[in-house]
Structure 1
Amino acid sequence: PPQPQVIVDGEPPAPPATGGGDIIKESNTANFIADVVEASKLAPVLVDFWAPWCGPCKQLGPMLEKLVHQTGGLVRLVKVNVDENQEIAQQLRVQSIPMVYAFKNGQPVDTFTGAQPESQLKTFIDRLLDGAKPPLEAALEEAQATMEAGDAEAAAAIFRQIQVEDPENEAAIAGIIRSTLAMGDTVTVKEIVQALPTEIVAKGEVAAAISAFELSQQTKDSADLTELKEKLDAAPEKHQVRLDYAVALFGAGCNEQAIGELIEIIRRDRAWNEEAARKQLLKMFDALGPTHELTANGRRQLSSVLFS
């Protein structure tokens, strides 16, 4: 369908801004051409049509602001109160609110109406970015690469800087925990975890990082590998010995073998000790992370045993 055109009578529009400008701002009918149409020739602009009496607007607005801030200026947000700016709302056929328009290169290119979940808002914004990475996302990739290269201290510094910019960033918080743990500073990790709000602790990446920390504490106290192997060889039917051996293996970095030992317990007696082996295995998967090859392979093995 043809896109609505923006025509504002009166004074000629102001020239587009050439500086950084405000990432989030209020606008009105008189300034709409400058704030939205012309500004969108420099960077995509979201226009949030709202009103003080609108309940869903109060849900949508803060989420939009958060996601726009995360783009670091690659996308901007302009808020328009429809009660005070009925002319522009009519021109853009705003019939119900909240309604959001996306402007790019001087034209409206996308729109949606009603409150949306954060995941859908992110997808909406990602479409506008055309593959450009927001600064925080690029910084996260740099921190992860630094971590994988073995420089945990430098990675921790980047993760901390990201959290300064975005205090509830799940990946950054998880990265701080993992990098600090990699430096061997378990005291600081414990302090970080204890200070986290409950809702942050429950988030996927953070929960996985905490599992890695808890597992490290568990393996730190595990018995000598050789001693446990001898005990297991002498009594292979003792599941507790095999579980202790698996934990010690994981602590020693023998992750694949550790997973194999737990799978063996589940194969022999999946219900043993209130499914202790399966629960321990899931902790290891969390510690390794969902994208790790051993996690994927281990989950396939687990499914094969459980559903055979």
Structure 2
Amino acid sequence: MSGAVDLSVLKERAEAQRAQANRPTPPPAAASSSAPGPAGGAAFPAVYDVTEETFETEVVARSSQVLVVVDLWATWCGPCKQLSPTLERMAAESGGTWVLAKVDVDANPRIAQLFGVQSVPTVVAIAGGQPVSAFAGAQPAAQIQGWIDDIMTQHGAAITGVPAAEDGDEAEEPVDPRMAAAEDKLNVGDIDGALADYKAIAAAEPNNVEAASLVRNLTFVARAQAHDPADVADAAPDDLEKQLAAADIELLNQQPEAAFDRIVKVVARTAGDDRSAARARLLELFELFDPAEPFVVAARRKLATALY
């Protein structure tokens, strides 16, 4: 998952849908239980299904009133059959502390794309209209509960009905010495050292979104800086490695459109392993940007055309 997820893509689609008709009726809840609204407000279903059209209303907007946990699953996914019932039971027993929004990724691919989902099950917590934490794979109930408790402690103020700390009562968030040490290395130009530190943090804490994002960005920078521009200046169209290296250099030079177009052309004229490698590299580069960036959206369309 990318570190900075912009939910406006599906919001705009939902608003366009409502411009032509009344607000869609919420989909049937996956479970019959309901959660009381925050501070005695309107009741929400404890568990319910979400589509691309209802995502903005039933997830983004609702997350300003109650913590929304999004379960991204698929019918063919074995671990999903283990995790989903656990999440549904926990949501029903949460007393309205949080609700569970279920997304079938096969029926709603844009939601999966929005979050950069690479495997299912993936679970994302939304508070105050933004994703704040995530995990992938089946987890035991106790670990999930600890994850939710941490989110409520850190992000409860973004949700209406969760009292904010009084002035002077809010404790300053402690600085993680590992992150601080890695940042110090980065500030003095030690990219390799900083990258190694961030990788260690991300490996130890799979839910550390900041560390994972920095790993992606620094991995790209280290790779791009290792290329010799002169060596790829006249790269042959069928030289996969040099074409990918040239794209790295273009992206490092703030030319994402040129970099993406170059790889799309490689995808269009190759097959087999070369095509797979080029496609994988392009998807990797997409993760360095907000998925709503116009040049990312345009490149995804071009990639789809080249593939199909």
TM-score range, shorter chain: 0.3 to 0.5
Larger Cα-atom Rg: 1
**What TM-score, normalized to structure 1?**
0.42
Larger RCO (CA within 8 A; separation ≥ 6): 2
Q: Report which of the two has the higher share of helix.
A: 1
**What TM-score, normalized to structure 2?**
0.42
